[in-house]
């Protein structure tokens, strides 16, 4: 199955900490890792209808976290990783601050497109399409962008997203900076020049 990232996991090196364990540079929490530490079988740029916004407070990075809201206008930039179902389950558990090790029943999300595993952030699974006849899944919050106040992301977090966008889509620095500085929660707090400076 494909897992599509739109936050810090846009950066492939960051994702590997979820797979193999450890503390990512700039992060405050250690990842226990997955049962299967193999790298993704494939990696590809990906886009989804909707938008990304920053809200709540990250225990890993401080500042706002990235969330995906398919009801927002526009297109959300992501990165797709071909993982096993077990790796996806362990990755989702770590994002939910749960212990990895239990498989997920993906029946509901694959049939209905959505499955709320809990009330917290990253506890809602979404089926956002298919690639190469294989389901593409991601996770986000159960609420919409309009339901929560925005919170600007930290420099370390935003830089990780910026590096990931450069890797995934090959965008030049100005395009990366315009995209990130325009997202809800970042807009009005981070300028295009500020974001570009994170990559200099």
**Sequence spans of domains, the chain:** 2-151
Q: Report pLDDT for 16.
A: 95
Three-class secondary structure assignment of 41-98: CCEEEEEEECEEEEECCCCCCCECEEEEECCCCCEEEEEEEECCHHHHHHHHHHHCCC
Count Cα neighbours of 84 within 13 Å in the Cβ-side half-sphere: 11
> Counting every residue, how long is the chain?
200
Place of tokens 């096993």: 84
Q: Report pLDDT for 60.
A: 86
Say yes or no to pLDDT of 80 above 80: yes
- pLDDT band at 154, cuts 50/70/90? very high
- pLDDT band at 97, cuts 50/70/90? confident
User: Containing H/E element for 125?
Assistant: strand 124-131
- pLDDT band at 96, cuts 50/70/90? confident
Say yes or no to pLDDT of 6 above 80: yes
Per-residue pLDDT tens for 169-199?
999 999 999 999 999 999 999 999 999 999 9
């Amino acid at each position: 199955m494909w897992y599509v990232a739109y936050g810090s996991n846009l950066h492939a090196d960051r994702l590997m900490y979820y797979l193999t364990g450890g503390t990512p540079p700039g992060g405050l929490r250690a990842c226990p890792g997955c049962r299967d530490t193999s790298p993704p079988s494939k990696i590809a740029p990906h886009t989804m209808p909707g938008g990304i916004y920053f809200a709540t407070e990250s225990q890993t990075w401080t500042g706002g976290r990235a969330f995906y809201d398919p009801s927002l206008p526009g297109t959300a930039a992501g990165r797709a990783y071909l993982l096993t179902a077990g790796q996806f389950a362990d990755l989702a558990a770590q994002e939910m601050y749960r212990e990895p090790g239990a498989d997920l029943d993906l029946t509901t999300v694959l049939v209905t497109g959505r499955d709320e595993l809990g009330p917290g952030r990253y506890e809602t699974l979404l089926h956002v399409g298919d690639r190469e006849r294989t389901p593409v899944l991601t996770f986000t919050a159960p609420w919409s962008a309009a339901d929560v106040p925005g919170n600007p992301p930290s420099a370390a977090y935003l830089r990780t997203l910026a590096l990931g966008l450069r890797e995934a889509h090959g965008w030049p620095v100005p395009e990366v900076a315009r995209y990130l500085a325009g997202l809800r929660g970042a807009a009005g707090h981070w300028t295009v020049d500020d974001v570009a400076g994170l990559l200099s």
